[in-house]
Amino acid sequence: MQNDVVLTMRGISKQFPGTKALDHVDFTLRRGEIHALMGENGAGKSTLIKVLTGVYEKDGGSIHIEGIEGEAAIHSPQDAQNAGISTVYQEITLCPNLTVAENMFIGRTDGAIVHWKDYEKKATAILENLGIPARARQELSSCSLAVQQMVAIGRAVDMNCKVLILDEPTSSLDEKEVAMLFKLMRELRSRGVGIIFVTHFLEQVYEVSDRITVLRNGELVGEFEVSELPQLELVARMMGKSLDDLSELEKIDKHVPTDTETVYEASGLSSVARKPFDFQIRRGEINGFTGLLGSGRSESVRAIFGADSVTGGRVRIKGKEVRITNPHEAMKNGVGYLPEDRKRDGIIADLSVRDNIILALQVMKGYFKPMKKSEMEKFADEYIRELNIKTASQNTPVGSLSGGNQQKVILARWLLTHPDYLILDEPTRGIDVGTKLEIQRLMLKLAEENMSVTFISSEIEEMLRTCFRLIVMRDGNTVGELTGDQLTQSQVMETIAGGEAQHG
Amino acid sequence: MTTANPILRQRRREPLTDASLLTLIAMGIFIAMYASAVIFMGGAFQKVQQFLDLFNENAALIIISCALTLVMIGGGINISVGGIIGLTCMACAKFLEYSAPENSALAVILTVALALGVGLAFGLLEGFMVSYLEIQPFIVTLAGMFLARGLTTILSVNPVKVTHEGFQVLVKTKLQIPWLGYVAKNGNLIPAKLEIGAIVAVTVVAAVWLMLRYTKLGRGVYALGGNRQSALMLGVNVKSVCFRSYVISCLLAGLAGLTFLMHKPAANASIAMRSEMDAIAASIIGGTLLTGGVGNVFGTLFGVMILAAIQKIIGLSPLNESWWQDMASGAMLGIFILLQSVILKWRAKGGKDTGAKAATQSR
């Protein structure tokens, strides 16, 4: 072991029911470095952090920490803290109703009596020392999120931590606050603290980090010096493609409409989760939002559908200005949305296949105009046949169907309302290849029948095969729009890695 | 970065927290209410005794309101306190009925022990179920309430009068304050009187205030109510803090039962019925948030005072009917909650938008 290494993790494995979250992952942290841990959502970053902080027990591998003989035994967050590992989580884990000073010292003092004076003196010293713009006696809730985060870091540092884990610390901060945080991180680095920086913001990694470890699908991709890993290559590694590999895939002949009317047009549309953006789609067009997981793809379509509360912007449907602030209004205007998480937002598992198919149509008609049973049965039969849904009968509860067939039921639900514009968010995730192809083919067929479709998928090949136009996103911004010959994997990745942010 | 920020150096007063603001509002309302009663209704309200009677008559309510404030700050609730008062009163009354009058000192000590013992037993049981078995506190204490009421009825269906001499001494002993008294029509000075129960109640308020502010347990209760998950991550022993807060609250309810009996030495099956609801109302009027993390027993004391003053004012007015009292208390509670939320919203808008920001982003 080198002298300046503070933390070594070797061959860490962690199994969850059904998935291997970590598969023999190595990780090394040196004294006084900022080490970025990168990977798409689900790559195993959080699991690795949770193993290190004792939230999860590892299934295999070893952890060595400087100053501790032999293997470090970490079975609880308390153990981790005692071993000198402190974590500042994405959601601030402090108590907003207590003072800054108290938040720094609660839970780690001796004796039954609280000595406020001591607390405040020590806290003021820490705040001044680290240049955190807060007062010791201030109530925490009156501090900005960035300052709250810094208070949490101050607490961690005061506990003599050797390893400081910052888990997505910047995700809810604005640029100025991020700069403040980075200043503090650099200060701590110069004091010899090893910092693990988990984030999905690429620019931020290049701004402060010294080294990057990339994970993908629970496996270690590699450890790199920041200077040796260009941004484009980092994206490629995160997505699991090597640059040379990016051969063109065969394309289905797509009839690209250019002269049809614009079905949906938004300008400056924004929601609580999405910055303002412009977007439009023509009749019979298939387009898609692409980008790394967490880049704001779903947030974009949720804003279009009114699923997140809309905060601004103008929407025109077929040239007519409309207001869409909730899903019901979107549906009335001919917009359908198949959500990303079908378990949570989509199916109602205990209801029958028929009831699930009828649902959206019934909502649109209004609850006071019930449909005839025979009518419902007819519709259900029609779509079960058309989409080839494999179910024992229309009365079977949807929950007992396979994932792919559940997905088709939701698709049927929306097709039944005959939307002009259908949004499909990850419709192919977690379903078998055969059904995937069926859904892709169906999309192309719908487009031919003059329906407009927006498609989101984590599998870029799938999108390249079906979409006429791709909107590329990064860190919540649109960074490019690709059409025609630009629709290649390398072009998409280049845009993700290097494209200039454009608002619109 | 060792150059200190000059702003930090200045020792300036921290802005008022929401919690202290709510307490101040409660105090202000009480003072305004009582002052207008003195001015417009005069008579009895001009005597200091009338004011002291607020404490004498509501000692038990003050104590259980403190108990409620404690658990509510921790994000819980305890609706068994009224039942515990009832059971304590009945148990003590029955005990005194059978104990020999000659050995009075011992009997009184045993009565006190019995009252606290009943509270402690409920506290241990409920505290264990709420904190270690993680059952909803509302359900646990609802069950506790039914249990206590049931046991009270088993002890005696008929009212029991306390005639024990030793205990009567406790009942009759009063702190006499001559300089706050008044001169009666026949020229005799009638001193103002404060009962033992009232003194106990005020002591409890002070003790709970000190406990909440200056002990690890007290701060743990605030942390628990502020954010349970965070408190856990910060190293607060969440379960133990929760457990102890329930034990203390039930213990206080036992003590409240004793003071109740000292004020009115008779017990019956429906004693202190609904008093847990009054205690919740008093806590909320005093600025305790039902969501936890915010509260202050001084505010709670004023909450009780407000409810008691309403009762007194209506009692001495032409509207002397129990439904008027209920309606006035209800209206007060409604107005107060409205006021709280309006003021807190208004403050949140004025620059303190971090909370709202955090809320939308934790989606």
Phi, psi at residue A177, to the nearest 5°?
A: -65, -35
Confidence of residue B266 (pLDDT cuts 50, 70, 90): very high
Decide if A173 contacts A205 (C-beta within 8 A).
no
Q: pLDDT, tens digit, for every residue of A144-156?
A: 888 888 899 889 8
In the beta sheet, which residues pair with residue A198?
Answer: A37, A167
Size of the A and B interface in Cβ pairs below 8 Å: 112
Of A427, A446, A329, A332, nearest in space to A386 by CA:
A446
Task: Work out the average pLDDT over B237-245.
Answer: 94
Mean pLDDT of chain B: 87
Q: Which residues of B touch A109 (CB under 8 A)?
A: 216
Closest Cα of chain A to B228: distance in Å? Answer: 8
Number of domains making up chain A: 3
Is residue A451 located within the same domain as residue A350? no
Q: How confident is the model at residue A433 (pLDDT cuts 50, 70, 90)?
A: low
> What type of residue is B82?
G
- CA torsion sign for A56, A57, A63, A64 is positive
User: Do A81 and A122 share a domain, yes or no?
Assistant: yes
Residue in the block written with tokens 């200190």: B4
DSSP A399: G
Residue B160 near residue B268 (C-beta atoms within 8 A): yes
What pLDDT is stored for residue A343 in this prediction? 65
Asked whether residue B7 carries a pLDDT value surpassing 80, the answer given is no
How far, rounded to the nearest angstrom, does the alpha carbon of residue B146 sit from its chain's CA centroid? 21
User: Tokens 């933390």 map to which residue?
Assistant: A7
pLDDT tens-digit series, residues B128-147: 999 999 999 999 999 999 99
| A259 and A397 housed in the same domain | no
The residue range of the domain holding A212 is: 5-245
Asked if A390 and A486 sit in the same domain, the reply is no
pLDDT tier at B160, thresholds 50, 70, 90: very high
Q: For A301-325, what is the mean pLDDT? A: 88
Task: Check if the beta carbon of residue A269 is closer than 8 Å to that of residue A497.
Answer: no
Q: Band of the pLDDT at A254, cuts 50, 70, 90?
A: low
| Mutate which: A91, A98, A144, A298, vs B, most B CBs within 10 A | A98
Please tell me the predicted confidence (pLDDT) of residue A342.
Answer: 67
Nearest Cβ partner for A187 among B1, B19, B354: B1
Specify whether A166 is located in the same domain as A42.
yes
Distance CA A237, CA A250 (A): 23
Q: Which of A76, A78, A82, A106 to mutate to test the interface with B (most CBs of B within 10 A)?
A: A106
| Helix extents (H) in A197-348 | 202-208, 231-239, 297-305, 327-332
Residue A258 confidence (pLDDT):
67
Does B305 have pLDDT greater than 70? yes
- Scanning every residue of chain A, which has its alpha carbon at the shortest distance from the alpha carbon of B10? A135
Model pLDDT, residue B322: 78
User: Tell me, what's the pLDDT at A252?
Assistant: 52
User: Across A80-94, A95-109, A234-248, which has the greatest mean pLDDT?
Assistant: A95-109
A101 touches chain B (CB under 8 A): no
The pLDDT of residue B352 is 42
How much is the pLDDT for A504? 39
Backbone torsions φ then ψ of A364, nearest 5 degrees: -70, -35
Mean pLDDT of B47-63: 93
- What's the rounded Cα separation, in Å, for the pair B314 and B294? 31
* B289–chain A nearest CA distance, Å: 12
User: Which residues are bridge partners to B267 per DSSP?
Assistant: B160
Q: Check: CB of residue B224 under 8 Å from CB of residue B93.
A: no
Give the model's pLDDT for residue B356.
37
Give the residue-averaged pLDDT of A58-83. Answer: 85
A253 or A432: which leads in pLDDT? A432
Q: Which residue has the higher pLDDT, B140 or A216?
A: B140
- As a whole number, mean pLDDT of residues B53-59 equals 94
Quote the percentage of chain B above a pLDDT of 70.
Answer: 91
- The residue with tokens 């628990």 is B224
Distance of CA B283 to the CA centre of its chain: 7
**pLDDT for B10:** 46
State how far the Cα of B7 lies from the Cα of A360, in Å rounded to an integer.
58
CB contact at 8 A, A152 and A160: no
Range with lowest mean pLDDT among A221-230, A291-300, B79-88: A291-300
Q: What pLDDT, in 10s, does the model give residues A103-122?
A: 999 888 888 888 888 889 99
Here the tokens at position A237 are 């590694």
Kindly state whether residues A367 and A240 are assigned to the same domain: no
What is the pLDDT, as a whole number, of residue B300?
95
Q: Do A124 and B225 count as a contact with CB atoms less than 8 A apart?
A: no
Q: Of the candidates A221, A245, A269, which is a domain's last residue?
A: A245
What Cα–Cα distance (Å) separates residue A28 from each residue in A81, A132, A179, A191, A212? 18, 29, 26, 19, 10
Between residues B2 and A218, the one the model is more confident about: A218
Strands (E), chain B: 160-161, 174-183, 189-195, 266-267
Residue B193 DSSP SS3: strand
Are A327 and A301 spatial neighbours (Cβ–Cβ below 8 Å)?
A: no
Residues A455 and A308 in one domain: yes
Closest partner CB to B234 (pick from A106, A135, A144): A106
Contact at 8 Å (CB) between A235 and A496?
yes
Closest in A91, A114, A141 to B354, CB measured: A141
Cβ-based contacts of A107 with chain B (< 8 Å): 223, 231, 234-236
Q: What percent of chain B has pLDDT over 90?
A: 56
Query: Are A424 and A328 in a shared domain?
Result: yes
CB proximity A71 to B under 8 Å? no
Q: pLDDT-derived band of residue B8, with 50, 70 and 90 as boundaries?
A: very low
Query: Do A328 and A457 belong together in one domain?
Result: yes
Distance CA A62, CA A72 (A): 8
Q: Contact, A97 vs B293, CB < 8 A?
A: yes
Cβ–Cβ < 8 Å for A12, A58: yes
Is A96's CB within 8 Å of B294's CB?
A: no
Angle formed by the axes of helices B59-73 and B196-214, to 10°? 10
Identify the weakest region by mean pLDDT among A76-80, A243-247, B60-64, B198-202. A243-247
- Please tell me the distance from the alpha carbon of residue A214 to that of residue A43, in angstroms, as a whole number: 9
CATH number at residue A479: 3.40.50.300
| Residue pLDDT, tens place only, A28-48 | 999 999 999 988 766 788 889
In this structure, the answer to whether residues A407 and A359 fall within a common structural domain is yes
Stretch B337-355: mean pLDDT, rounded? 66
Containing A182, the helix (H) or strand (E) segment is helix A175-190
Averaged pLDDT, B46-67:
93
Write out chain B residues lying below 8 Å of A94, CB-based.
Answer: 227, 230, 234
Which residue type, as a one-letter code, is found at position B235? G
Q: What pLDDT score does B257 carry?
A: 96
Q: How many angstroms separate the CA atoms of B164 and B109, rounded?
A: 13
- List CB contacts (< 8 A) between B234 and chain A: 93-95, 103, 106-108, 155
Helix (H) or strand (E) segment spanning residue A472:
strand A469-474
Hey, where are the domains in chain B? 60-274+289-297
Domain closes at, from A178, A211, A245? A245
Same domain, A395 and A434: no
The ipTM of this complex is 0.83
| Final residue belonging to a domain, choices A218, A245, A272 | A245
Count CB-CB contacts under 10 A for residue B168: 17
Average pLDDT of every residue of chain A: 84
For residue B13, the model assigns a pLDDT of 66
pLDDT (0 to 100) of residue B298: 94
pLDDT per position as a tens digit, A3-12: 688 999 999 9
Over pLDDT 90: what percentage of chain A? 15
Which residue type is seen at B337? I
| Interface residue ranges in chain B relative to chain A, Cβ cutoff 8 Å | 1-2, 4-5, 7-8, 14-15, 17, 19, 213-220, 222-223, 225-227, 229-231, 233-236, 293-294, 352, 354-355, 357-358, 360-363
